[in-house]
């Protein structure tokens, strides 16, 4: 009898916690679907610009006070543009596919969690070609000023890099898929 009572009390406690957690979730924002499309389209254009090292697009898409927060340092807008618009003699970016995972209102801006799939080719020290693959998760802040959307910040949440072989993840579809 006491075992049954313990199980019943445990079930009630779990149900209560689940109900509480469900009640704490945010209500859907009706504007989120439209903003998600804007941010996904913007990220698609960003990915194309990254592969092309398109400085003009970077200048247009990044707000004047834009910054990137990496784990070890904060990178200014100009430093970031200089870095990503310069073609490296050691290798080249061949893929930058972003996916918007979440979108959330943040005051007068929107924060989006982005999954970025990158591929690049480089030469090893012995001159052999190597393929690099990287998965980044960022939290980016977008804001509409007038009729123009711009990126205000990008915070690196996490990343992982693989050499030569695709990551062991089902979401790593071949380029173009």
Given a cut of 50, whether residue 11 has pLDDT beyond it is: no
Q: What is the pLDDT at residue 22?
A: 53
Given a cut of 70, whether residue 130 has pLDDT beyond it is: yes
Given a cut of 70, whether residue 23 has pLDDT beyond it is: no
Residue 14 backbone dihedrals phi, psi, to 5 degrees? -65, -45
Evaluated on CA atoms 70, 74, 80, 83, the torsion sign reads negative
**CATH ID of 31-163, from 1.20.1440.80, 1.10.3720.10, 3.40.50.300, 3.10.450.50:** 3.10.450.50
Question: What are the residues whose beta carbons fall under 8 Å from the beta carbon of 153, sequence distance 6 or more?
Answer: 66, 67, 68, 69, 140, 141
The pTM assigned to this predicted structure is 0.79
Report percent pLDDT > 90 for the chain: 64
Residue 51's CB is within 10 A of a number of other CB atoms, namely: 16
Tokens of 72: 């070890």
Give the residue extent of every domain in the chain: 31-163
Look at 177 and 10; give whichever has higher pLDDT. Answer: 177
Q: What is the pLDDT at residue 25?
A: 64
Instruction: Tell me whether residue 156 is exposed, middle or buried, using C-beta atoms within 10 angstroms of its C-beta: 0 to 12, 13 to 18, 19 or more.
Output: middle
Given a cut of 50, whether residue 4 has pLDDT beyond it is: no
pLDDT digits (tens, 9 = 90+) for 148-163: 999 999 999 999 999 8
Please, are residues 154 and 138 in contact by the beta-carbon 8 Å criterion? Answer: yes
């Amino acid at each position: 009898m006491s075992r049954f009572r313990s199980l019943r009390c445990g079930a009630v406690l779990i149900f209560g916690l689940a109900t509480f957690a469900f009640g704490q979730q945010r209500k859907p924002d009706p504007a989120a679907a439209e903003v998600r499309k804007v941010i996904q389209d913007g990220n698609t254009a960003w990915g194309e610009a990254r592969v092309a090292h398109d400085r003009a697009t970077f200048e247009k898409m990044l707000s004047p006070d834009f910054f990137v927060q990496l784990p070890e340092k904060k990178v200014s807008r100009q430093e970031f543009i200089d870095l990503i618009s310069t073609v490296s003699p050691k290798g080249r970016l061949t893929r930058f596919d972003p996916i918007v995972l979440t979108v959330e209102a943040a005051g007068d801006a929107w924060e989006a969690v982005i999954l970025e799939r990158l591929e690049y080719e480089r030469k090893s020290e012995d001159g052999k070609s190597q393929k690099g693959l990287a998965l980044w998760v960022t939290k980016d802040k977008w804001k509409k000023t007038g009729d123009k959307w711009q990126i205000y910040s990008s915070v690196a949440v996490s990343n992982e890099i693989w050499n030569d072989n695709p990551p062991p993840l089902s979401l790593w579809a071949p380029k173009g898929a």
